[in-house]
Amino acid sequence: MQIFGVDIGGSGIKGAPVDLDRGDLAQERCKVLTPHPATPDGVADGVKQVVEHFGWTGAVGLTFPGVVTDGATVRTAANVDKGWIDRDARALFSDRLGGLPVTVVNDADAAGVAEMRFGAGRGRRGTVIMLTFGTGIGSALFVDGTLVPNTELGHLELDGHDAEKRASSKVKEDHDMSWEHWAHRVTKYLAHVEMLFSPELFVIGGGVSRKAAKFLPHIEGIRAEIVPAELQNNAGIVGAAMHASEEGAGV
């Protein structure tokens, strides 16, 4: 079975049909740049462009980079326009897509669910934390395979700042940090999260997961196992489609 997944990030909107039996993209993904400012109308237009690229007419699962409650309402918007706050994202996207059935879920939660089903978290019990490093830092917390939604651990305080303002991959790029320098910041962040939650496993996702060999060897002193996401930067797309399927969007 295939359902369309769209992953909305601070820098890009990417999507593709997803083969839910394999947990992988059924076609090569399409990506457009996230508009700046990332207003609701601007982002909705980007989503429409991605979906129409494939001529898709079925259910669509979308991720959003912030807290999403009741499967529709946006509550935080750290890396997109503040006009999203309290907006019914599901109604907006469905309307822009001509009435297609739509679901919306936190982006890191979607990526985490995909990794737990098809990737690095398969079969893992205990406490597992997926962290996505990109424009910000997203998080997905699992206890014995069950998701605790909307954790937003990227906004924990680190050195007097939001953690994602110190250790996201965007910060690395903006300040032209070496992988080793950035890894030291990530280590401080992981140590803080580990102190609070004592996970057995950290799964590191986002675009940097493709380059894990450049920074993971520099992360030391963390008791939990640390592994890169197996689905890499496609995890959000897969998780979005999984969420649409599980919520019965057009299925």
Tell me the CA distances in angstroms from 15 to 24, 61, 130, 136, 206, one per residue in order: 12, 10, 21, 19, 15
Going by the DSSP 8-state scheme, the letter that residue 34 receives in this structure is P
Per-residue pLDDT tens over the stretch 28-66 = 999 999 999 999 999 999 999 999 999 999 999 999 999
Tell me the CA distances in angstroms from 126 to 69, 122, 141, 194, 201, one per residue in order: 25, 12, 11, 14, 9
Q: What is the pLDDT of residue 249?
A: 59
Provide the mean pLDDT of the chain: 96
Number of other CB atoms surrounding residue 188 within 10 Å: 15
> What mean pLDDT is predicted for residues 200-227?
97
What CATH code would you report for 2-109+234-246?
3.30.420.40
How many angstroms separate the CA atoms of 96 and 30, rounded?
A: 18
Residue extents of the structural domains in the chain: 2-109+234-246, 123-230
Please state whether the predicted TM-score (pTM) of the whole model is above 0.85: yes
Res. 104 pLDDT band, cuts 50 70 90: very high
Q: What is the pLDDT of residue 247?
A: 85
Q: Is the pLDDT of residue 251 over 90?
A: no
Q: What is the pLDDT of residue 182?
A: 98
Say which CATH topology domain 123-230 has: Nucleotidyltransferase; domain 5 (3.30.420)
Q: Is the pLDDT of residue 125 over 60?
A: yes
Q: Is the pLDDT of residue 16 over 90?
A: yes
How many angstroms separate the CA atoms of 56 and 30, rounded?
A: 12
Q: Is the pLDDT of residue 250 over 90?
A: no
Tell me the CA distances in angstroms from 168 to 39, 145, 192, 213, 249, one per residue in order: 22, 26, 15, 17, 33
Per-residue pLDDT tens over the stretch 187-212 = 999 999 999 999 999 999 998 999 99
Provide long-range contacts, Cβ within 8 A and 24+ apart, for 51-55: 51/4, 51/6, 51/15, 51/97, 51/100, 54/4, 54/15, 54/16, 54/17, 54/27, 54/30
Q: What is the pLDDT of residue 152?
A: 95
Q: Is the pLDDT of residue 89 over 70?
A: yes
Q: What is the pLDDT of residue 248?
A: 72
- Same CATH topology for 2-109+234-246 and 123-230? yes
Percent of the chain whose pLDDT exceeds 90: 95
Q: Is the pLDDT of residue 76 over 60?
A: yes
Percent of the chain whose pLDDT exceeds 70: 99
